[in-house]
Amino acid sequence: MSPTSFLKLQEAMNQGLIGSLEDFYVVARSLLVKSERYFDVYDRVFAHRFEGAELSDPTEMEISEIARALLEEWLQDPSAAARALGLDERDFKTMSPEQLLEYFTQRLKDQTGEHHGGSKWIGTRGTSPVGHSGYHPGGMRVGGVSRGGSAVKVALDRRYRDYSRQGPLNRAHLGEALKRLRHMVPAGPKDRVHIDETIRRTMKNAGEIEIVFERGYRNRLKVILAMDNGGWSMEPYVDLVGTLFSYARSQFDQIKTFYFHNTVYDYLWEDPPRIRKPFSVDELVKLDPESRFIFVGDASMAPYELMAREGSIYVHERSGRPSHERLQFIADLFPHCVWLNPKPAETWRYTRTIDMIKAIVPMFELSLDGLENAVTFLTAGR
Protein backbone atom coordinates (compact mmCIF):
# COMPACT_ATOMS: atom_id res chain seq x y z
CA MET A 1 0.00 0.00 0.00
CA SER A 2 1.09 3.58 -0.51
CA PRO A 3 1.67 6.11 2.28
CA THR A 4 -1.20 8.18 0.87
CA SER A 5 -3.68 5.32 1.14
CA PHE A 6 -2.55 4.54 4.69
CA LEU A 7 -3.04 8.19 5.71
CA LYS A 8 -6.49 8.19 4.07
CA LEU A 9 -7.45 5.24 6.27
CA GLN A 10 -6.24 7.12 9.37
CA GLU A 11 -8.27 10.14 8.28
CA ALA A 12 -11.39 8.02 7.84
CA MET A 13 -11.00 6.61 11.35
CA ASN A 14 -10.25 10.00 12.90
CA GLN A 15 -13.42 11.44 11.35
CA GLY A 16 -15.52 8.69 12.92
CA LEU A 17 -16.47 7.14 9.57
CA ILE A 18 -15.55 3.66 10.80
CA GLY A 19 -17.78 2.41 13.60
CA SER A 20 -17.68 -1.35 13.15
CA LEU A 21 -15.57 -4.17 11.81
CA GLU A 22 -17.82 -4.22 8.74
CA ASP A 23 -16.98 -0.58 8.11
CA PHE A 24 -13.29 -1.22 8.62
CA TYR A 25 -13.33 -4.27 6.33
CA VAL A 26 -14.86 -2.33 3.43
CA VAL A 27 -13.03 0.98 3.90
CA ALA A 28 -9.60 -0.60 4.40
CA ARG A 29 -10.03 -2.83 1.36
CA SER A 30 -11.19 0.12 -0.74
CA LEU A 31 -8.28 2.35 0.27
CA LEU A 32 -5.39 -0.06 0.71
CA VAL A 33 -5.87 -2.79 -1.90
CA LYS A 34 -4.90 -1.52 -5.33
CA SER A 35 -5.89 -4.53 -7.44
CA GLU A 36 -8.58 -7.18 -7.27
CA ARG A 37 -5.83 -9.80 -7.54
CA TYR A 38 -5.12 -9.18 -3.82
CA PHE A 39 -8.74 -9.31 -2.56
CA ASP A 40 -8.44 -12.98 -1.64
CA VAL A 41 -5.20 -12.42 0.28
CA TYR A 42 -6.83 -9.47 2.07
CA ASP A 43 -9.80 -11.65 3.08
CA ARG A 44 -7.58 -14.36 4.53
CA VAL A 45 -5.40 -11.95 6.50
CA PHE A 46 -8.43 -10.00 7.76
CA ALA A 47 -10.22 -13.16 8.92
CA HIS A 48 -7.07 -14.35 10.71
CA ARG A 49 -6.31 -11.04 12.41
CA PHE A 50 -9.83 -10.09 13.53
CA GLU A 51 -11.28 -13.50 14.42
CA GLY A 52 -13.37 -12.94 17.58
CA ALA A 53 -12.60 -9.20 17.73
CA GLU A 54 -15.17 -6.51 18.41
CA LEU A 55 -14.83 -2.76 18.64
CA SER A 56 -15.07 -1.48 22.22
CA ASP A 57 -17.71 1.02 23.30
CA PRO A 58 -16.67 4.66 22.89
CA THR A 59 -15.30 6.86 25.63
CA GLU A 60 -17.12 9.99 26.86
CA MET A 61 -14.94 12.16 24.63
CA GLU A 62 -15.73 10.00 21.61
CA ILE A 63 -19.46 10.13 22.43
CA SER A 64 -19.25 13.92 22.55
CA GLU A 65 -17.64 13.99 19.10
CA ILE A 66 -20.24 11.58 17.75
CA ALA A 67 -23.03 13.73 19.16
CA ARG A 68 -21.62 16.87 17.57
CA ALA A 69 -21.38 15.21 14.17
CA LEU A 70 -24.92 13.85 14.51
CA LEU A 71 -26.40 17.20 15.53
CA GLU A 72 -24.69 19.00 12.65
CA GLU A 73 -26.49 16.68 10.28
CA TRP A 74 -29.83 16.94 12.09
CA LEU A 75 -29.80 20.73 12.24
CA GLN A 76 -30.21 20.80 8.48
CA ASP A 77 -33.74 19.45 9.03
CA PRO A 78 -35.11 20.72 12.38
CA SER A 79 -38.41 18.87 12.10
CA ALA A 80 -36.76 15.51 11.60
CA ALA A 81 -34.22 16.28 14.31
CA ALA A 82 -36.94 17.10 16.82
CA ARG A 83 -38.73 13.85 16.09
CA ALA A 84 -35.50 11.89 16.33
CA LEU A 85 -34.68 13.35 19.73
CA GLY A 86 -38.25 13.03 21.03
CA LEU A 87 -38.65 16.79 21.44
CA ASP A 88 -41.41 19.19 20.56
CA GLU A 89 -40.36 21.07 17.45
CA ARG A 90 -41.00 24.43 19.16
CA ASP A 91 -38.76 23.46 22.05
CA PHE A 92 -36.15 22.19 19.64
CA LYS A 93 -35.96 25.53 17.83
CA THR A 94 -35.37 27.42 21.06
CA MET A 95 -32.43 25.22 22.09
CA SER A 96 -28.85 26.12 21.23
CA PRO A 97 -26.46 23.50 19.81
CA GLU A 98 -24.80 23.31 23.23
CA GLN A 99 -28.15 22.59 24.87
CA LEU A 100 -28.95 19.93 22.28
CA LEU A 101 -25.55 18.34 22.88
CA GLU A 102 -26.16 18.39 26.63
CA TYR A 103 -29.59 16.84 26.09
CA PHE A 104 -28.07 14.02 24.08
CA THR A 105 -25.32 13.26 26.59
CA GLN A 106 -27.79 13.54 29.49
CA ARG A 107 -29.91 10.88 27.88
CA LEU A 108 -26.84 8.65 27.90
CA LYS A 109 -26.32 9.32 31.61
CA ASP A 110 -29.97 8.67 32.43
CA GLN A 111 -29.87 5.32 30.71
CA THR A 112 -28.30 3.03 33.31
CA GLY A 113 -29.01 -0.25 31.58
CA GLU A 114 -29.00 -1.74 28.15
CA HIS A 115 -31.90 -0.98 25.86
CA HIS A 116 -32.75 -3.22 22.90
CA GLY A 117 -35.37 -2.10 20.45
CA GLY A 118 -37.68 0.90 20.47
CA SER A 119 -37.39 4.40 19.13
CA LYS A 120 -36.30 6.65 22.02
CA TRP A 121 -33.54 5.27 24.18
CA ILE A 122 -29.99 4.75 23.01
CA GLY A 123 -29.63 1.06 22.38
CA THR A 124 -29.59 -1.66 19.78
CA ARG A 125 -31.80 -3.25 17.13
CA GLY A 126 -34.47 -0.58 17.23
CA THR A 127 -35.29 2.59 15.31
CA SER A 128 -33.71 4.96 17.81
CA PRO A 129 -31.55 7.51 15.98
CA VAL A 130 -28.59 6.69 18.18
CA GLY A 131 -27.17 3.29 19.02
CA HIS A 132 -26.05 0.37 16.90
CA SER A 133 -27.31 -2.72 15.08
CA GLY A 134 -30.65 -1.08 14.42
CA TYR A 135 -32.10 1.03 11.65
CA HIS A 136 -32.72 4.73 11.41
CA PRO A 137 -32.21 6.63 8.16
CA GLY A 138 -30.53 9.58 9.87
CA GLY A 139 -28.98 7.81 12.81
CA MET A 140 -25.48 7.58 14.18
CA ARG A 141 -23.74 4.49 15.54
CA VAL A 142 -22.74 4.67 19.19
CA GLY A 143 -20.62 1.80 20.44
CA GLY A 144 -20.76 -1.90 19.88
CA VAL A 145 -20.40 -3.96 16.73
CA SER A 146 -22.93 -4.19 13.94
CA ARG A 147 -24.96 -7.39 14.25
CA GLY A 148 -26.50 -7.13 10.80
CA GLY A 149 -23.57 -9.14 9.41
CA SER A 150 -20.07 -10.23 10.23
CA ALA A 151 -17.02 -8.90 8.45
CA VAL A 152 -15.03 -11.92 9.56
CA LYS A 153 -17.65 -14.29 8.13
CA VAL A 154 -17.65 -12.34 4.87
CA ALA A 155 -13.86 -12.58 4.73
CA LEU A 156 -13.96 -16.32 5.47
CA ASP A 157 -16.36 -16.81 2.56
CA ARG A 158 -13.46 -15.73 0.31
CA ARG A 159 -15.70 -14.44 -2.44
CA TYR A 160 -12.71 -13.18 -4.38
CA ARG A 161 -10.81 -16.46 -4.55
CA ASP A 162 -11.10 -16.51 -8.35
CA TYR A 163 -9.22 -13.20 -8.50
CA SER A 164 -6.24 -14.68 -6.69
CA ARG A 165 -2.90 -14.80 -8.48
CA GLN A 166 -2.58 -18.41 -7.35
CA GLY A 167 -5.69 -19.53 -9.19
CA PRO A 168 -5.56 -21.84 -12.23
CA LEU A 169 -4.33 -20.34 -15.47
CA ASN A 170 -6.88 -19.99 -18.25
CA ARG A 171 -6.81 -18.50 -21.74
CA ALA A 172 -7.73 -15.03 -20.47
CA HIS A 173 -4.87 -15.00 -17.95
CA LEU A 174 -2.39 -16.31 -20.49
CA GLY A 175 -3.59 -13.78 -23.03
CA GLU A 176 -2.92 -10.81 -20.79
CA ALA A 177 0.60 -12.03 -19.99
CA LEU A 178 1.67 -13.26 -23.42
CA LYS A 179 0.35 -10.18 -25.23
CA ARG A 180 3.16 -8.28 -23.58
CA LEU A 181 5.62 -10.52 -25.44
CA ARG A 182 4.44 -9.33 -28.80
CA HIS A 183 6.72 -7.00 -30.70
CA MET A 184 4.52 -4.98 -33.03
CA VAL A 185 6.35 -3.16 -35.84
CA PRO A 186 5.20 -1.64 -39.18
CA ALA A 187 5.44 -4.15 -42.02
CA GLY A 188 4.19 -4.55 -45.59
CA PRO A 189 2.75 -1.95 -48.00
CA LYS A 190 1.19 1.32 -46.86
CA ASP A 191 -2.40 0.20 -47.33
CA ARG A 192 -4.07 1.48 -44.16
CA VAL A 193 -5.48 4.96 -43.53
CA HIS A 194 -3.72 6.80 -40.71
CA ILE A 195 -6.78 8.48 -39.18
CA ASP A 196 -5.08 10.94 -36.84
CA GLU A 197 -2.52 12.11 -39.38
CA THR A 198 -5.22 12.43 -42.08
CA ILE A 199 -7.26 14.69 -39.81
CA ARG A 200 -4.20 16.77 -38.89
CA ARG A 201 -3.15 17.26 -42.52
CA THR A 202 -6.71 18.09 -43.57
CA MET A 203 -7.02 20.76 -40.87
CA LYS A 204 -3.62 22.17 -41.85
CA ASN A 205 -4.87 22.37 -45.46
CA ALA A 206 -7.89 24.47 -44.35
CA GLY A 207 -10.33 21.64 -45.04
CA GLU A 208 -8.86 20.23 -48.22
CA ILE A 209 -8.78 16.48 -47.61
CA GLU A 210 -5.38 14.81 -47.63
CA ILE A 211 -5.47 11.07 -46.94
CA VAL A 212 -2.35 9.65 -45.29
CA PHE A 213 -1.58 5.93 -45.51
CA GLU A 214 0.55 3.81 -43.22
CA ARG A 215 1.81 0.25 -42.96
CA GLY A 216 -0.07 -2.26 -40.86
CA TYR A 217 1.48 -3.55 -37.64
CA ARG A 218 2.55 -7.14 -37.37
CA ASN A 219 4.05 -9.14 -34.58
CA ARG A 220 7.68 -9.71 -35.55
CA LEU A 221 8.70 -11.60 -32.42
CA LYS A 222 9.91 -15.17 -32.88
CA VAL A 223 9.18 -17.71 -30.16
CA ILE A 224 10.66 -21.18 -29.64
CA LEU A 225 8.58 -23.30 -27.27
CA ALA A 226 10.12 -26.54 -25.95
CA MET A 227 7.80 -28.64 -23.79
CA ASP A 228 8.27 -31.68 -21.59
CA ASN A 229 5.39 -33.91 -22.65
CA GLY A 230 6.39 -37.23 -21.11
CA GLY A 231 6.59 -38.98 -17.78
CA TRP A 232 4.24 -39.44 -14.85
CA SER A 233 5.53 -36.35 -13.01
CA MET A 234 4.08 -34.09 -15.70
CA GLU A 235 0.66 -35.78 -15.69
CA PRO A 236 -0.92 -33.34 -13.19
CA TYR A 237 0.02 -30.40 -15.42
CA VAL A 238 -1.18 -31.69 -18.80
CA ASP A 239 -4.20 -29.38 -18.96
CA LEU A 240 -2.19 -26.37 -17.83
CA VAL A 241 0.58 -26.93 -20.37
CA GLY A 242 -2.01 -27.68 -23.05
CA THR A 243 -3.64 -24.32 -22.39
CA LEU A 244 -0.30 -22.58 -22.70
CA PHE A 245 0.48 -24.42 -25.94
CA SER A 246 -2.93 -23.67 -27.45
CA TYR A 247 -2.78 -19.97 -26.70
CA ALA A 248 0.85 -19.57 -27.76
CA ARG A 249 0.05 -21.15 -31.15
CA SER A 250 -2.79 -18.68 -31.73
CA GLN A 251 -0.93 -15.65 -30.37
CA PHE A 252 2.32 -15.75 -32.35
CA ASP A 253 2.76 -16.03 -36.09
CA GLN A 254 6.39 -17.12 -35.88
CA ILE A 255 6.58 -19.93 -33.36
CA LYS A 256 8.48 -23.20 -33.44
CA THR A 257 7.40 -25.98 -31.10
CA PHE A 258 9.64 -28.77 -29.85
CA TYR A 259 9.16 -31.61 -27.39
CA PHE A 260 11.46 -33.41 -24.96
CA HIS A 261 11.27 -35.69 -21.96
CA ASN A 262 12.73 -34.50 -18.64
CA THR A 263 15.65 -32.68 -20.23
CA VAL A 264 17.44 -32.08 -23.54
CA TYR A 265 20.23 -34.24 -25.02
CA ASP A 266 21.34 -34.22 -28.67
CA TYR A 267 17.84 -33.81 -30.11
CA LEU A 268 14.60 -31.99 -29.64
CA TRP A 269 11.52 -33.42 -31.36
CA GLU A 270 9.05 -31.72 -33.66
CA ASP A 271 6.39 -34.44 -33.27
CA PRO A 272 4.66 -34.99 -29.89
CA PRO A 273 5.42 -38.77 -29.78
CA ARG A 274 9.13 -37.88 -30.14
CA ILE A 275 9.76 -40.61 -32.74
CA ARG A 276 9.61 -39.42 -36.34
CA LYS A 277 10.92 -35.83 -36.48
CA PRO A 278 14.15 -35.30 -34.53
CA PHE A 279 15.74 -31.86 -34.62
CA SER A 280 19.44 -31.68 -33.80
CA VAL A 281 20.30 -29.26 -31.01
CA ASP A 282 23.32 -28.21 -33.04
CA GLU A 283 20.92 -27.00 -35.76
CA LEU A 284 19.53 -24.36 -33.38
CA VAL A 285 22.42 -22.11 -34.46
CA LYS A 286 20.51 -21.57 -37.73
CA LEU A 287 17.62 -19.93 -35.90
CA ASP A 288 17.40 -16.26 -34.98
CA PRO A 289 19.32 -15.76 -31.71
CA GLU A 290 16.88 -12.96 -30.81
CA SER A 291 14.09 -15.56 -30.58
CA ARG A 292 12.52 -16.02 -27.17
CA PHE A 293 13.31 -19.58 -26.10
CA ILE A 294 10.84 -20.97 -23.53
CA PHE A 295 11.23 -24.34 -21.82
CA VAL A 296 8.16 -25.78 -20.10
CA GLY A 297 8.67 -28.70 -17.71
CA ASP A 298 8.85 -29.74 -14.07
CA ALA A 299 12.67 -30.18 -14.21
CA SER A 300 12.28 -33.21 -11.93
CA MET A 301 14.39 -36.27 -12.68
CA ALA A 302 17.21 -38.39 -11.35
CA PRO A 303 20.42 -36.30 -11.12
CA TYR A 304 22.31 -38.70 -13.40
CA GLU A 305 19.89 -37.86 -16.26
CA LEU A 306 21.20 -34.32 -16.12
CA MET A 307 24.85 -34.95 -15.37
CA ALA A 308 25.87 -38.28 -16.97
CA ARG A 309 27.12 -38.60 -20.57
CA GLU A 310 24.59 -41.30 -21.33
CA GLY A 311 21.94 -39.94 -19.00
CA SER A 312 18.81 -40.51 -21.11
CA ILE A 313 16.46 -43.21 -19.86
CA TYR A 314 15.81 -44.21 -23.49
CA VAL A 315 18.19 -46.79 -24.94
CA HIS A 316 18.04 -45.35 -28.46
CA GLU A 317 18.96 -41.83 -27.23
CA ARG A 318 22.66 -41.87 -26.45
CA SER A 319 24.76 -38.72 -26.30
CA GLY A 320 28.43 -38.00 -25.92
CA ARG A 321 27.62 -34.87 -23.89
CA PRO A 322 25.71 -34.61 -20.62
CA SER A 323 22.42 -32.77 -20.68
CA HIS A 324 23.55 -29.88 -18.52
CA GLU A 325 26.07 -28.95 -21.24
CA ARG A 326 23.31 -28.99 -23.85
CA LEU A 327 21.16 -26.71 -21.71
CA GLN A 328 24.09 -24.35 -21.26
CA PHE A 329 24.63 -24.35 -25.03
CA ILE A 330 21.01 -23.30 -25.60
CA ALA A 331 21.14 -20.67 -22.86
CA ASP A 332 24.29 -19.17 -24.40
CA LEU A 333 22.81 -19.28 -27.91
CA PHE A 334 19.55 -17.57 -26.93
CA PRO A 335 20.07 -14.73 -24.40
CA HIS A 336 16.29 -14.45 -23.97
CA CYS A 337 15.70 -17.90 -22.53
CA VAL A 338 13.52 -18.98 -19.58
CA TRP A 339 12.21 -22.17 -18.01
CA LEU A 340 8.55 -22.26 -16.88
CA ASN A 341 7.96 -24.81 -14.14
CA PRO A 342 4.35 -25.84 -13.34
CA LYS A 343 5.35 -27.12 -9.90
CA PRO A 344 4.71 -24.66 -7.03
CA ALA A 345 7.85 -22.64 -6.36
CA GLU A 346 7.80 -23.48 -2.64
CA THR A 347 8.48 -27.15 -3.52
CA TRP A 348 11.49 -26.52 -5.76
CA ARG A 349 14.06 -26.75 -2.97
CA TYR A 350 13.19 -30.42 -2.44
CA THR A 351 14.31 -31.42 -5.96
CA ARG A 352 18.03 -31.28 -6.68
CA THR A 353 17.72 -31.13 -10.47
CA ILE A 354 15.49 -28.06 -10.26
CA ASP A 355 18.27 -26.16 -8.51
CA MET A 356 20.79 -27.41 -11.07
CA ILE A 357 18.72 -26.36 -14.07
CA LYS A 358 17.76 -23.07 -12.42
CA ALA A 359 21.47 -22.23 -12.23
CA ILE A 360 21.67 -22.53 -16.04
CA VAL A 361 18.31 -21.20 -17.25
CA PRO A 362 16.31 -18.55 -15.35
CA MET A 363 13.30 -20.41 -13.93
CA PHE A 364 9.82 -19.06 -13.21
CA GLU A 365 6.72 -20.67 -11.80
CA LEU A 366 3.97 -21.32 -14.34
CA SER A 367 1.46 -19.16 -12.46
CA LEU A 368 0.06 -15.69 -13.10
CA ASP A 369 2.82 -13.94 -11.17
CA GLY A 370 5.51 -16.26 -12.49
CA LEU A 371 4.37 -15.84 -16.08
CA GLU A 372 4.36 -12.07 -15.78
CA ASN A 373 7.87 -12.12 -14.30
CA ALA A 374 9.05 -14.39 -17.12
CA VAL A 375 7.56 -12.08 -19.75
CA THR A 376 9.25 -9.10 -18.10
CA PHE A 377 12.59 -10.95 -18.26
CA LEU A 378 12.07 -11.94 -21.90
CA THR A 379 11.22 -8.38 -22.98
CA ALA A 380 14.04 -6.69 -21.06
CA GLY A 381 16.35 -4.74 -23.33
CA ARG A 382 14.11 -5.17 -26.34
The pLDDT, as a whole number, for residue 103 is: 73
Complete domains list, the chain, with CATH: 3-162 (no CATH), 186-217 (no CATH), 220-379 (3.40.50)
Question: For 223, how many CA atoms within 13 A lie in the half-sphere containing its CB?
Answer: 28
Q: Are 81 and 92 in contact (CB under 8 A)?
A: yes
β-sheet with 267-269: strand ranges across:
278-280, 267-269, 254-260, 222-228, 292-296, 337-341, 363-365
Q: How high is the mean pLDDT in each 10-residue block of the chain (382 residues)? A: 88 84 88 84 87 64 63 68 71 73 66 44 42 40 45 73 58 62 58 87 91 71 84 70 70 82 90 88 92 90 88 71 93 94 90 94 87 82 54
- Please tell me the predicted confidence (pLDDT) of residue 127: 43
- Per-residue pLDDT at 135: 37
* CA dihedral over 332, 336, 341, 347, signed as positive or negative: positive
Helices and strands: H and E segment counts in the chain: 15, 12
